[in-house]
Structure 1
Amino acid sequence: MSAVSRLFDRFLGRGDWAVTVPTLDGPLLPNQELEEAEAFAGLADADNLVRTEKGMLASSANRLMRFDADGKAEVLQEFPGEITALAHARGMTALAIDGKGVVIRGGLHDGREATGDEARRLSCVTALTFLDSNTLLVANGSASLPASAWRRDLMQKNASGSLWRLDLKSGRLELIRDSLSWPAGIATTGSNRVYVTEAWRHRVLAIDLASKATLPVLEHLPAYPARIAPAFNAGYWLTFYSVRNQLVEFILREETYRKRMLAEVPEAYWMAPSLGSWRDYREPMQGSQLKQMNVLKPYAVTRSYGLVVHCDQNMKPLSSFHSRADGTVHGTISACEVDDDLLVASRGGSRIVRVAKAASGKRG
C-alpha cells in the first residue's frame, strides 16, 4: 500500500484506520449456552485443556492438573513458572513454561528440558501441537514480552510473534513464519497445511509447512481468536480472548492517548480487552443500565466475554456458544472434547464448564 493510500485511509477512517467492528451475527449470533452450561470443576486460572488416555489435563497457573470424568482433580506437578501451553500425543505431554521454553513429561522424550538458544527464542509460547513423535510445532506470541503480557502486546500494537518447528531429538529450531500479531493457536489438518490464529489481526491463517506460503482462511472476526482444538467431525473448536469493541479500536489509533494510558494507568484498569470483569470498582465498566456514583450509565462497551465457535474442516463457522457481557464464564481461551461433551476453561470465571452433547451434533 502506498503512502498516499495510507494517508487517505487515515483521513477518511477506512481500512486499517476504521473503528468499525463486525457484528456477532449468523453462526456467531449471541446465546447463553456457556452461561447456562453445567459446572464441571472450579479451578483458578483455568486454562490449557487437553484430553489424554488417563483423563483430561488442565493448567492452573504453575500447576499441572488431571481431572477424571466426575471432575475430581489431582495435582500432577508444579513448575517454576506459569504453564502457558499444553499438547499431548503418543503418551507424551509437552508443556510451555512462561519465559523458560518447552519441557516434555512422559513418553519417548520424558524429562527433556529447553536450554540455550531454544529457551531464549521460545520464551513466550502460546500454543503447541505434535506433528509426530519427534516434532513439535510451537507458536511464540512475542519476541519481547511474556505470555502473561498479552494485553500489553495488543495495546503496544506489536507484531513480533512467530511459528517454529522444534525437533525434540536434536533441539533444532526451524522458523516457519515470523512477524505475526500474537499467534495464539495451532491446529494440524492431516497434510502439510496447518491453521494458526493471529489474534490482533482477528483472523485464522493457513500456513504450508513445506513452502511456508500463508493464506488467510477466516478474516474480519468480531473477537480476538485464541486456541484451536480438534472437533469430532474433522472440524475445530475456535476459542477467543474476548470480543472487539469500537472504543479499543479507537484507542489503538489515538497514539498520544494510548501511550499515556500504558505509561500512567495500572494495567488492571486499562480500557482494553480482559479475561474477566466485575472484579474492582476502578476498572472500566461494561454492560448497560449501570449506576455509578448515583448516575445511571446507559451503556459501556464489552471488555470481557465468553465465546467458543464450532468450525468445519475449512474453518468455516457453523455454530457458537456464548457467555455475554453480564455473564461470568469469560476468558474462554481453551476447550476440548471429552466423549460427547465439550469442556471449556473459563479463565475469567475460574472454572471449567461442560456443554453437554456439543460434540455429537448440538448447535448453539
Structure 2
Amino acid sequence: MNFLARKRQAAPFMTLEGVVGPNQRLDQADAVSVQSPDTLCPLHDGRLLLSSGRQVLALNAWGGEPEFWAAFAAPVTALAQSPGGRVAVGLGAGGLAVLDADGRPVAGWSHPIGQLASVIDLVFRTDDELILVDCGRSDTDDLLSAAAWDDEARGQVVSLRHSGELRVILPGLHYPMGVCLDAKGGLLVSLLERAAIVDETGRVLQAGYPGYAGRLRRHRDGYVLACLSRRDPLVEFLKSEPAFVAEMKATIAPRHWIGPRLDAAFSHDLPIELGATRLYGEVKPWAPSFSYGLLVTLDDALMPTGSAQSRADGRRHAIGDVASWGGSLLATSRASGEILKIGDDL
C-alpha cells in the first residue's frame, strides 16, 4: 500500500502573496486603546459602538474618548443596528438584548434562553427579524485553537423574529463566525477554520482564504473579512497525522497544542516559539508565529483585492471585527487591545 495515499489531504489555501502580500499596515495604523475590544457597530447618527468586555462604549469622533453606552451581565459578543435604529447585543452563552440607540432596553423581544450556545455575530434582515450566528460553543475564549482540531459541526445560523419565533436557517455548520447581507439582501456566512464563505443554502461561494475567517462586513462594492490569524502550514500538515494529533490532545494541555492563537505574546514554553527568535533575540517578520494580524478586502465575487497585516514581529494580531466609519476602515485587535484606524485604500 502506498503510505502517502493513506494520508488525508489538507484543503489548499491562499498564500500571503500577490494582492495579499505581506505588509505592515496594521502596525502603522493609528490606534485607540480599549480594554478587551471585540466587535464594532456604526450607528445611523454617526457614532461608533464598540464592545469592551461586558460594556458597550460609544465613540463620537476618532481621537475622542469612548463614552459609556450600556453594561451587561455577560461579555458582549456581537453588535448590530436595525434599519429603524434598534441595536441588538449578543451576549456570552447565547444571550441577547435589544436596545434603542441611547442604550435603553426595547420591550417585546423574546430572549432565546437555552436555545443557543453562543451569539457570535448577528445582523438585522428587517426591523422585525434578526439573523444570529451560533458557533456551537458556549465558551469562546479558546475558540480559535479548538476549531483547528475539532471535526464536529455544531454551529448554526438562525432567524429570530420580534414575535419570538426562532427558525434554523443553516444547521450543522463548522464554526460559523460572521454574517452579513449581500447587495440583494441574501445572507453570507463566514466559516472560521474552513476559511470559507457560504450562502443561505450552505453552498460554498469561496474558500481557501489565507486566514481563519472571522466577521464579514460590506465595504464599498465588495466586502472586508477580519481574520483571527493566518493559516499556518504546520497546522495544515498535521491534519494529515491523526495519530500525532490524538496523542497531543490526550497528553498536553490545550494551551500547548500546536495551533493558531489570539495572543501575540512571546513565551519559551509555547510550541515553535524559539524558532521566532534570531540574533540578539529579535523577532523577524517572516518568523514562525501562530498568531497574526490579517484583514482582507474582497470584491463582489468574494475574491481578495488587498490586505492589511501585522506580521510575526508585530503585536496587533487577532483581528476581531472591522467596520467602515468616518471614511476609514476601523478594526479591533484583540491581541493588543486597540481599535485601529487603517484608512480606506487597501
Superposition TM-score, scaled by structure 2 size: 0.88
**In 2 relative to 1, CA 337–24 (structure 1 residues): closer, same or farther, beyond 3 Å?**
same
The alpha carbon displacement at 1:139 in A equals 0.9
Distance 1:111 1:82, change over 3 A: farther
2:156 aligns with one of 149, 162, 166:
162
In 2 relative to 1, CA 191–304 (structure 1 residues): closer, same or farther, beyond 3 Å? same
Report the 3-state secondary structure (helix = DSSP H, G, I; strand = E; otherwise coil) of the residue aligned with 1:121: coil
Cα separation, partners in 2 of 1:308 and 1:287, compared to 1, 3 Å: farther
Determine if contact 2:148/2:260 at 8 Å carries over to the other structure.
no
- Residue among 106, 110, 125 paired with 2:106: 110
Contact 1:224 1:243 in 2 (8 A): yes
Give the drift of 1:249: 1.9
Per the TM alignment, residue 253 of structure 1 is displaced from its structure 2 partner at its CA by: 3.7
Instruction: Report the Cα distance in structure 1 between the residues aligned to 2:209 and 2:278, rounded to whole angstroms.
Output: 31
- Distance of aligned partners of 1:192 and 1:72 in 2 relative to their CA distance in 1, 3 Å threshold: closer
CA contact (8 A) 2:110 2:163 kept: no
Does structure 1 residue 229 correspond to structure 2 residue 222? no
Can you list the C-alpha shifts for 1:64-117, whole angstroms capped at 9, x where unaligned? 1112212411222222221111111222111111114221111697155654xx
| 8 A Cα contact 1:20 1:246, kept in partner | no
Task: Please list the CA deviations of residues 193-251 of structure 1 after superposition, one character each: whole Å capped at 9, or x if unmatched.
Answer: 211101121111122xxxxx3322211112111101221x2321111011111221233
| Matched AA of 2:171 | D
List structure 1 segments (4+ residues) > 6 angstroms apart after TM superposition: 7-10
**Structure 2: unaligned runs, 5 residues or longer:** none
Please name the residue that 2:270 is paired with: 283
Equivalents in 2 of 1:352, 1:254: separation in Å?
A: 38
* 1:285–1:300 contact (8 Å) kept in structure 2: no
Q: Check the 8 A contact 1:310/1:319 in 2, yes or no.
A: yes
Larger CA deviation: 126-135 vs 256-265: 256-265
TM-score (norm 1): 0.84
* Residue 48 (structure 2) pairs with residue 56 (structure 1): yes
Partner of 2:38: 47
TM-aligned CA distance change 1:111 to 1:8, over 3 Å: farther
Cα deviation, 1:132-185, whole Å, max 9, x if unaligned, reads 10001111101x543334122432222111111111x21111111111111111
Alpha-carbon displacement from aligned partner over 1:257-287 (angstroms, at most 9, x marks no partner): 3234334433333221111222533223448
**3-state DSSP of counterpart to 1:110:** coil
Q: Structure 2: how far apart are the matches of 1:125 and 1:303?
A: 26
Equivalent residue letter for 2:72 = F
Q: 1:141 aligns with which of 135, 146, 159?
A: 135
Which piece of structure 1 moves more, 218-227 or 132-141? 218-227
- Please, which runs of 5 or more residues in structure 1 have no aligned partner? 1-6, 208-212
Q: Sequence identity, in percent?
A: 25
Give me the whole-angstrom Cα distance separating, in 2, the residues matched to 1:287 and 1:54: 46
RMSD: 2.8
Alpha carbons of 1:343 and 1:187: their partners in 2 closer, same or farther (altered >3 Å)? same
Distance 1:112 1:75, change over 3 A: farther
Equivalent residues, number? 338
Amino acid paired to 1:57: L
Map 1:333-344 → 2, pairs under 5 A: 333-344=320-331
